[in-house]
Structure 1
């Protein structure tokens, strides 16, 4: 019982294509001030969830090394209203980001708040109600664009309506705003994203290359394996190859980097388990200092992990070595950059512990290339 209490205290719960013929949507458009957007060649993007702002305020969380910041999340309700959480404070974020030449996107949706997308976008009145509220909120609050995190379209109607939605956003926002879409790592949830259509309107696609294993899995696998291994048939490599084959341009792909890991009550990887948790890198760092945990490196998947034999607990996570391997892979594949979920999870004593390594690795690879 004491062990279970300790574990719960240490962990925190993290994260067929078709081409319809869509006519142009003609509606009264809001008056918009056009902006000029400049971005780097290889981007370091990061999600900043509103629920972490009080604990990790913008002065601490927003780092000079970031190029794109996704302020998460707002979402639609079933009546087409844009829901903005109470503590969704954006003025300080925008001011700090502007001073650091960072572009800020409003992230709409989320893993637990995407449920109403299907109903709202399938109803003409709700569609326009929500779309105009979203656009006006972006413009009024000086965001540089929109990140769409719909998890996930489930049928051809959803796919068609997402197409209309993205086209409508582009028509109203113009070319100088960024539109970003978050994609799952496999065809199971990715089949209803119509890439042939969307790529005409979308600047970047974040491939969420994490959560390959968790409480839903049959064995204790790896959270974000770069390549296939003994107990994972899927991997980041296969995910990127899948989306490239679907038609996503390599330079528009941002490869997902998790600043968290997953714990399983098993002796090692590839074992049966009955409990699993998510843990921030910050919490895992504290375990690395404990004599109870032993560090291992899986050469096949390029994944570090920790094992506590005494208490039978196994952690799969990312550290500078595994992240550097993923960045090198992103350069080899000519990808547009990386996207972090999420930027507060590596902060210790008000300082980032992973982000500086990412920035240095990107600089090194830019010199090599």
Structure 2
């Protein structure tokens, strides 16, 4: 009997081993299939999760030379999704200045490259004009809608800035009227002030983030001008902390992350030690030229995540003019806070960190040649906490 039991056990053991081997193989195959599926989904996410990039185009000569900006956009290596030119300016009466030239050729050239054209509606930083526009909403909305249809534009970016908390309800109503009046895929976006401290007075108080986000397709967060012309002491245009706290505030006001664009400055600001030049903005191109021309000393502030340069113009040097401001840089020592590859990449990482829709830029044509070599790649690099 013992011999028979032994003969029965041996085949059973071999059968059990075979079954276990088959189960292990199936399990490995399933794991492999699951792994490949996950890799495929991950790859799909990476291929489809390209963040949105829009840029303002502001230049007093734009109406005269749209071809120049068509060339400028070629330099972006097809990175832009949308441009916002200065086509919609306001008259003192708060109506649309319909004498401003709008280029059919430029719009067609952009559409050919799959770039949308969404002009910004500007009060030209004039309080009386801004108030007049809010008092004249019905006519203004009708004009904007007509111009969008007439020129086959893709929408409007509302960038009325010289308003206060008293204008809050009227501002919300203007945006709501525009959204209700524009049909199809025409978009309405709104430029809003950065508000890292939760200020409720002044122009910050005009922006009801939650209501504006609900009434529009997106908010463009102007996360720059932390320091500007009214600051006697030089400082960064957009330190990383200033930018991040501004994002956090917007999100805390129920702005969906997929509706928020992070504004990136393509300019710096310059101060002269004697106080005769206070925070005048200069393009990043000019920043590079000034640093090279006057052998400037550059430091990178790790805490603020912003570069700063100092340079001195001597009496016998070739002086420089900031053409935009018609200002001559006379002999003396200057401080320049600006943006470079490292500071811009640090800001772009926040888009991924908070899963924002993308970025908005002020403004096209001010960047250095190297910018577009890293911009989109950095913008779409998954966020990795340190």
Which interval holds the TM-score relative to the shorter structure? 0.7 to 0.9
Q: 1:333 to 1:52 in 2, by over 3 A?
A: farther
Measured in 1, the distance between the counterparts of 2:286 and 2:208 equals 38
Shift of 1:197: 2.2
Measured in 2, the distance between the counterparts of 1:245 and 1:327 equals 20
Note the alpha carbon deviations across 1:179-215, whole angstroms, 9 max, x for none.
1100111234222222332222211111111111122
Q: Which position in structure 2 is the counterpart of 1:256?
A: 263
Measured in 1, the distance between the counterparts of 2:383 and 2:105 equals 32
Is 1:236–2:236 an aligned residue pair? Answer: no
Shift of 1:319: 1.0
Structure number with higher relative contact order (C-alpha < 8 Å, ≥ 6 residues apart):
1
Measured in 1, the distance between the counterparts of 2:127 and 2:347 equals 29
Measured in 2, the distance between the counterparts of 1:318 and 1:85 equals 36
Note the alpha carbon deviations across 1:237-262, whole angstroms, 9 max, x for none.
22112222222222211111111100
Which of 310, 333, 339 is the matching residue for 2:360?
A: 339
SS of residue in 2 equivalent to 1:183: strand
Q: 1:293 to 1:55 in 2, by over 3 A?
A: farther
Is 1:275–2:277 an aligned residue pair? Answer: yes
Which of 131, 135, 142 is the matching residue for 1:132?
A: 142
The answer to whether the Cα contact below 8 Å between 2:70 and 2:109 also exists between their aligned partners in 1 is yes
Is 1:97–2:110 an aligned residue pair? Answer: yes
Measured in 2, the distance between the counterparts of 1:139 and 1:161 equals 25
Which ranges in structure 2 are unaligned for 5 or more consecutive residues? 1-47, 314-331
Note the alpha carbon deviations across 1:261-291, whole angstroms, 9 max, x for none.
001113xxxxx84522221111112134346
Report the TM-score when normalising by structure 1. Answer: 0.77
SS of residue in 1 equivalent to 2:364: coil
Q: Which position in structure 2 is the counterpart of 1:304?
A: 307
Which of 87, 111, 121 is the matching residue for 1:108?
A: 121
Q: Which position in structure 2 is the counterpart of 1:230?
A: none
Shift of 1:152: 3.4
Measured in 2, the distance between the counterparts of 1:286 and 1:175 equals 45
Kindly name which structure, 1 or 2, has the bigger radius of gyration based on alpha carbons. 2
Where do residues 111-260 of structure 1 align in structure 2 (5 Å cutoff)? 111-113=124-126, 115-122=128-135, 126-156=136-166, 158-174=167-183, 176-186=185-195, 187=199, 188=201, 189-227=203-241, 235-260=242-267
Is 1:59–2:75 an aligned residue pair? Answer: no
Measured in 1, the distance between the counterparts of 2:99 and 2:344 equals 32
Note the alpha carbon deviations across 1:137-169, whole angstroms, 9 max, x for none.
01111111100001033133x222222222211
Measured in 2, the distance between the counterparts of 1:58 and 1:202 equals 27
Q: Which position in structure 1 is the counterpart of 2:91?
A: 77
Q: Which position in structure 1 is the counterpart of 2:57?
A: 48
Aligned-pair Cα RMSD in Å = 2.5
SS of residue in 1 equivalent to 2:249: helix
The answer to whether the Cα contact below 8 Å between 2:294 and 2:311 also exists between their aligned partners in 1 is no
Which ranges in structure 1 are unaligned for 5 or more consecutive residues? 1-38, 228-234, 267-271
Which stretches of structure 1, 4 residues or longer, exceed 4 Å deviation after superposition? Answer: none
Measured in 1, the distance between the counterparts of 2:345 and 2:215 equals 31
Shift of 1:172: 1.5
Shift of 1:354: 1.7
Measured in 2, the distance between the counterparts of 1:55 and 1:261 equals 25
Q: Which position in structure 1 is the counterpart of 2:371?
A: 354
The answer to whether the Cα contact below 8 Å between 1:65 and 1:356 also exists between their aligned partners in 2 is no
Q: Which position in structure 1 is the counterpart of 2:296?
A: 293
Measured in 2, the distance between the counterparts of 1:48 and 1:225 equals 23
Note the alpha carbon deviations across 1:82-109, whole angstroms, 9 max, x for none.
11464x3321221121111111102101
